[in-house]
Amino acid sequence: MIGAGLTAAIGALHVYIMLLEMFRWEHPRTRRAFGTTEDFARATKVLAANQGLYNGFLAAGLFWALIEGAGGAGRPLALFFLGCVFVAGLYGAATASRRILFIQALPAAIAIAAVRAGV
């Protein structure tokens, strides 16, 4: 099922984002990916970790949906958590970086369409 595969990929993406924000926020490659300076990363380390935790919750919800069956009993869970990812992506694109629209919101919208279509 394509919807389940996309849900898994988005869950994995959010685990990756969680790891970057919670544990590697001050690393030069992470700073480059997020466009931050060393001073900014140091000053916002706790805020980034908190944000990372939320990304972990999104990933957990998506994996929960997969365990329940994204095309069956877990379908409402998948749609809810993909919807959360989509809204977070829209907000991030509007307030932080337009790239988030393509990294987070667009993939979530495609996954929502696939889960709804049952493919």
34-91 per-position pLDDT tens digit: 999 999 999 999 999 999 999 999 999 999 999 999 889 999 999 999 999 999 999 9
The band of 119, judged by pLDDT with boundaries at 50, 70 and 90, is confident
Task: Scan for tokens 């389940």, then name that residue.
Answer: 4
Q: Is the pLDDT of residue 106 over 90?
A: yes
Residue 70: predicted pLDDT: 83
Q: Is the pLDDT of residue 100 over 90?
A: yes
Domain limits for position 38: 2-117
Residue 1: predicted pLDDT: 84
Residue 27 tokens read as 């690393």
Is the whole-model pTM more than 0.85? Answer: yes
Domain count, the chain: 1
